[in-house]
Structure 1
Amino acid sequence: MAKIDLKPLSLAELNALKKRVDKAIERHDKQRKTKALAALKAKAKELGFSLGDLTSAGTSKPKAAISKNNKPAKVTHRHPDDASKTWVGRGPRPQWLRDELAQGKDVADFKV
């Protein structure tokens, strides 16, 4: 690879060069993906499948796993003045709880 001296280039010239390089990289990646996809489709066809047949295989969960995991979590914390403000104890704390904690209260004060 030829070494390019970038020192004499202005900021505008460097930014223009950067855009050209980014576009060249995108084109290169797109060509590689297109070739890879064509090779995968050809191999799938050789084996008697379409690529869609193979990529969708095994993506659905068994019914037992779906019915087990779709129950909503139970509320574990509730605002004392507004019962509609709740938290299940998972994920980030809601703003109302963060506000109360900032006033010096303890998270245990809001347990249900």
Structure 2
Amino acid sequence: MSINLESLSTKELSELISKANLRKKVLAKRKPANQVKAAVAKFLKSTGWTFDELYGRAGAPKAAAPAAEKQPRKTTKGRSLGKVAPKYRNPANAKETWTGRGKQPRWLAAETAKGRKLDEFLIK
């Protein structure tokens, strides 16, 4: 974060200095990080836990959830369903196909609007 001190008024500078002094006091009251880490490690050792077990670091074994508790996904947002073979083909243009997923392509919507059945476009 950079602050352009040249653009600040006297009042703004005074507020900034007072906020900085408050932050400095808060930081001065804190114990050094290595002391806190040592105290946490000592406490965890006395309880039989490790930091990795409690907070899940990479490589730490994770507790497997029972299969009965897992809920099936209700949405496919954020994951791909994979490739699917096309089910429908445009007779006028063999390159135009549709898998049956998602919104109907324009050519198929136009043909079904004319009264044709979807089954007529199935790839055999």
TM-score under structure 1 normalisation? 0.39
Q: Greater relative contact order: 1 or 2 (C-alpha under 8 angstroms, separation 6 or more)?
A: 1
CA radius of gyration, larger in: 2
Structure with the higher helix share, 1 or 2: 1
TM-score (norm: length of structure 2): 0.35
